[in-house]
Structure 1
Amino acid sequence: MDVGVIGLGRMGQGMAASLIRAGHTVRVWNRSPDAAKAVAGAKPVASAAEAFRGDAAITMLADDAALRGVIVEGGLLDSPERPGLHLGMSTISVSLAAELAALHERAGVPYVAAPVFGRPDVAEKGALNIVAAGAAAAIDRAAPLLDAMGTRTWRFGDEPQRANAVKLAGNFMLVSAIEAMGEAAAFAEGHGVAGGELLDLLTNTLFASPVYKGYGASIAADRYEPPGFNLRLGAKDVRLALAAAEAVGVPMPFASVLRDNLIEAMAHGDGEKDLAALARVAARRSGRG
């Protein structure tokens, strides 16, 4: 397929590389041109509009503001040449996802929300888990692209915003796991038990899953750079989850705790560190950080 990729952070670069390995023709655009040049085998283009055409376009941008700026304020849905479908793979708010679905329907461009679970190294291997929602026919048409970037596509119905709700729910659980490990490690340290030893035990027994093992190892080693997923973006996702929860009258009290702890972490200069650095909040409060 002829596909354009808009947004070439570490995730976007890995996804574009996976598409190229699968034999797709890939045009790429990024606000910083150097990032576009970093993807071997891709064709850098001069504007987002040149990427937003062909069989499909993929957006992988950092947040609501970036996506709105490129797609909505950039007028891409009004351009004469538009893609056969748009895969929105960014982690964005549920409200923006619903707005985009309506805008695409009016423009006659099929829209599939397809946020992903996985860090940059997983994206580079084409092993992401992809959450997709939108018209079944559009997801079917996107299958060769989704299969190139992920090991499985999980479908959640025909309303695109459902995929974004699932993604935010998952990220809320991920941040909750890091907070729990940070508090547990600080508690153990207070009783003379090395936090790293506790986490080694628990992440190889009761909590032997990729999230606990990966982030637990970072916490145990006090290693938060280079970031796989930075803390500032994790804070953004918790804020988005809280806003979406309020919109449907769902209380999320622990998400409020996480938001405040993430703000504290950023106030101590940890915003650009790996999300695992959230554990430093509990350590500092206990006098051991």
Structure 2
Amino acid sequence: MADKIAFLGLGSMGAAMAANLLKAGFPLTVYNRTAEKAEPLRQQGATVAATPAEAVREADIVFTMLTDDKALEEITTGPDGFLNALKPGAIHASCSTVAPDTTRRLAEAHAAHGSFLVASPVFGKPDVAAAGKLWVGSSGPAEARERLKPAQEAIGQGTHDFGDDPGAASVAKLCGNFLLGTVIEGMAEALTLAEKCGLDRVGFYEMLTSTIFNTPVYKGYGKLIAEQHYQPVGAPPAIIRKDMNLVVQEAYKNEVPMPFANIIRDRLTATVALGEPDVDWASFAKRVSEDAGL
């Protein structure tokens, strides 16, 4: 019999991941603070809970996909959190991008309760999540990692194991998001220089991504930057600025100079300050063009 799953947090990523768990045959209960976001999943066969505790009461596995550390801690160990309602031996698959120490702290709370936390951050935009093609990181107790694999397989095209430290997959996620930021900054600088020197911006992008940068990341983000059209929204600038803050904090704590991380965070801060709604976080590339007088 398939594990019973609860899914908490039904934003664009969470809703797509939850739908794939349903398609894979897992009995699913969902919760979202804004209740109407759960309605499409109800229509697909999920049970909708009124509170986090109600959602997890019979769950073998609890997925969370939330905005930030504060939201994750509140829904897990806060006054109205789900931890006390979770049955012993259950697994919390935490998919949110949060500080490694937040993950470790919550893992300790789970251990005291008799349950497990496995960090399960994901790489991919909402369309990738809808297609079940996310890349999943996994770290935490070995037994729980093994039990979680079938559910992770339902949401992704591959799971990468980072070992027993619950914070390890969170480190990997922060490093990955930092690298995506460097791709955006680098492409923006190169395309801006090319444009100012008289090259066609889109044509130069097409040359790059059909030759030496023929990879999904450069093709996907590069297209947005080349065309200067930052739709559809994979993640808004404010969300990834939060991630870059976490990168800088982790670098400071571990005495790793990361000047590029500070540049990307500053670009995102300027983008957030401009208050542009409904644009992808890659829109910080526009700051490069503006600095160059374009």
Aligned match of 1:62: 67
User: Which ranges of 4 or more aligned residues in structure 1 deviate by more than 3 Å?
Assistant: 80-83
Aligned match of 1:219: 225
For residues 52 and 193 of structure 1, do their structure 2 counterparts lie closer, same or farther at Cα, with a shift above 3 Å needed? same
Q: Deviations over 1:26-45 (max 9, x none)?
A: 10000000111122221111
Q: Deviations over 1:196-230 (max 9, x none)?
A: 22211112211111111001111122211331122
Q: Work out whether 1:177 is the aligned partner of 2:179.
A: no
| Aligned mates of 1:270, 1:157 — CA distance in 2 | 40
Q: Where in structure 2 are the equivalents of 1:100-119 lying within 5 Å?
A: 100-119=106-125
Q: Which of these residues, 40, 44, 48, is aligned with residue 44 of structure 1?
A: 48
For residues 215 and 138 of structure 1, do their structure 2 counterparts lie closer, same or farther at Cα, with a shift above 3 Å needed? same
Q: Where in structure 2 are the equivalents of 1:191-230 lying within 5 Å?
A: 191-230=197-236
Identical aligned pairs, as a percentage?
A: 39
**8 A contact 2:8–2:52 mirrored in 1:** yes
CA RMSD of aligned residues (A): 1.4
Aligned match of 2:33: 31
Aligned match of 2:243: 237
| Aligned mates of 1:13, 1:209 — CA distance in 2 | 27
Q: Where in structure 2 are the equivalents of 1:1-289 lying within 5 Å?
A: 1-39=3-41, 40-53=44-57, 54-73=59-78, 74-79=80-85, 81=87, 84-270=90-276, 272-288=278-294
TM-score by length of 2: 0.94
Q: Give the counterpart letter for 1:48 in structure 2.
A: P
Q: Deviations over 1:226-277 (max 9, x none)?
A: 3112222111111111111111111111101111111112222236410220
Say which is worse superposed, 111-120 or 263-272, in terms of deviation. 263-272
Q: How many positions carry a matched residue from both structures?
A: 288
For residues 234 and 165 of structure 1, do their structure 2 counterparts lie closer, same or farther at Cα, with a shift above 3 Å needed? same
Unaligned runs of 5+ in 1: none
TM-score by length of 1: 0.96
Say which is worse superposed, 189-198 or 170-179, in terms of deviation. 189-198
**8 A contact 1:28–1:42 mirrored in 2:** yes
Unaligned runs of 5+ in 2: none
| Aligned mates of 2:85, 2:31 — CA distance in 1 | 16
For residues 107 and 255 of structure 1, do their structure 2 counterparts lie closer, same or farther at Cα, with a shift above 3 Å needed? same
Query: Which secondary structure does the structure 2 equivalent of 1:86 belong to?
Result: strand
**8 A contact 1:57–1:87 mirrored in 2:** yes
| Aligned mates of 1:287, 1:141 — CA distance in 2 | 55
Quote the offset at 1:185 in angstroms: 1.1
| Aligned mates of 1:107, 1:26 — CA distance in 2 | 23
| Aligned mates of 2:281, 2:82 — CA distance in 1 | 33
